[in-house]
Amino acid sequence: MAIQLTAKESMLLKDQKSAEELCVKKYQTYANQAQDPQLKQLFSSLAQKEQEHLNTINQILNGQVPNVQQGQSGQQQTQIGQQMQQKKPAMQNPQAKENDKTLCEDMLSMEKYVSGTYDTTIFETTNTNIRQALNHIQKEEQEHGEQIFNYMQSNGMYSVQ
């Protein structure tokens, strides 16, 4: 079933597309820059998820209603997050740890931003199926932020007071 987007929907989705492209690039770049192997793995995994989001946005922009399988990713994301909290990485030198912390802070900030912009896009979307697909992506963005937060907290990079 082909869909026709409003001008506003198209504009907002193009913004989301740009944000997803940036997320993919950043996660790929940061996976190469991270010192901790656990963080490298996390960033690589999140780059793949962001690529899936980008593919979904491209489908919508091409007039297609994406088929989103909800439920699976949440369980997988939670399991990954729990594994991260259980594993303690090998001791890093302070400079390497500070570098990894900066990468995490940047991506956590990016995830907060992207999740917020999805909120606006969802409210401006007229098609229920597209709204559900975007809502699914937004939920995954929040899970990405949780995984980064959990990594940071378990490695002494984020203190909740």
Do residues 46 and 147 make contact, with C-beta atoms less than 8 angstroms apart? yes
Q: How many domains does the chain have?
A: 1
Kindly tell me if the per-residue pLDDT of 73 is higher than 60. no
CATH label of the domain that carries residue 131: 1.20.1260.10
The verdict on residue 70 lying in a domain is no
The angle formed by the CA atoms of residues 117, 59 and 9, to the nearest 5 degrees, is 40
Distance in Å from the first CA to the final CA of the chain: 50
Residue 36 to residue 47: CA distance in whole angstroms: 17
Arithmetic mean of pLDDT, 47-55: 98
Mean pLDDT taken over the chain: 89
Range of the domain at 54: 7-65+77-84+92-154
Largest CA distance in the chain: 55
Q: What is the pLDDT of residue 161?
A: 76
pTM for the whole thing?
0.85
The verdict on residue 14 lying in a domain is yes
User: And the tokens for 96?
Assistant: 């390497």
Q: What is the pLDDT of residue 17?
A: 98
The verdict on residue 160 lying in a domain is no
The verdict on residue 18 lying in a domain is yes
pLDDT tens for residues 85-108?
Answer: 455 555 568 899 999 999 999 999
Residue 93 to residue 36: CA distance in whole angstroms: 10
